[in-house]
Structure 1
Amino acid sequence: MPECRAHHIIEYLLDVGLSLGENALTHTELQSWQNNTGTILKPWESRLMKRLSGIYLSEYRESSDSEKETAWEEAPHYMCMAYRKMIRSKNSLRKLAE
């Protein structure tokens, strides 16, 4: 994973919640979180958290597509598309053999 220079943003995002179900975080949700925790976000931090929430949801939705390759370059072998296809083929052959 790439180095993160603003790791506090990731910590905040995990505390707030990455998303609101099927929707990205809203300014209202972030304001409520700030009021409840006493945390004061700078405008750029708030914008970044909203953006990261949207990116998270987009990647989450795309990850349900088993034909899509993982975006993580150093992903373990079992996460790559070729490995998943091999396992599906192997399972199909096992079913045929039954």
Structure 2
Amino acid sequence: MPEIGAAQYLASYWFELGLIGSGAMGPVAISATELLAWQQGSGNDLTPWEFKTLREMSRAYIASMTAAETPECPPPYGKQTEAFDRSLVSKKISNAFKAFIQAKK
């Protein structure tokens, strides 16, 4: 996870909340009702900005989960890996099988 500095406490709150909720059709963003209940139960009073941010974090997480279901989705971290050379990979695999066959003889 990248460094988030002074907002680390919000990430901690979000993890305590469970990141997302469960709906009849799958994951849903944390509802305002759930967030209000968490505030009351945990004794944490959120500012309007923190309240909105936690809900938006939950929405963004679900959007990323949905996008990640497609193979062309880039990774959510760092630079996207370079495409690999298929012919080089093919040669290495062929050589590995040849070596395996030679070892069996």
The whole-number CA distance in structure 1 between the counterparts of 2:76 and 2:51 is 25
Cα RMSD (Å): 2.6
The whole-number CA distance in structure 2 between the counterparts of 1:4 and 1:16 is 20
* 1:59 equivalent among 58, 64, 70: 64
Which residue number corresponds to residue 18 of structure 1? 19
The whole-number CA distance in structure 2 between the counterparts of 1:81 and 1:63 is 18
Say how many residue pairs are matched.
84
Pairwise CA distance, 1:81: 7.4
**Structure 1 residue ranges without an equivalent (≥5):** 94-98
The whole-number CA distance in structure 1 between the counterparts of 2:17 and 2:77 is 25
Report the structure number with the largest CA radius of gyration.
Answer: 2
Pairwise CA distance, 1:25: 0.8
Query: Is the 1:16–1:33 contact (alpha carbons within 8 Å) kept by the matching residues of 2?
Result: yes
Q: How does 1:1-98 map to 2 (within 5 A)?
A: 1-21=2-22, 22-74=27-79, 80=81, 82=83
Q: Alignment partner of 1:60: what SS?
A: helix
**Structure 2 residue ranges without an equivalent (≥5):** 94-105
Residues 40-69 of structure 1 show CA distances to partners (whole Å, capped at 9, x for unaligned) of: 111110000001110011011111212211
Q: Which has the higher strand share?
A: 2
Q: Alignment partner of 1:66: what SS?
A: coil
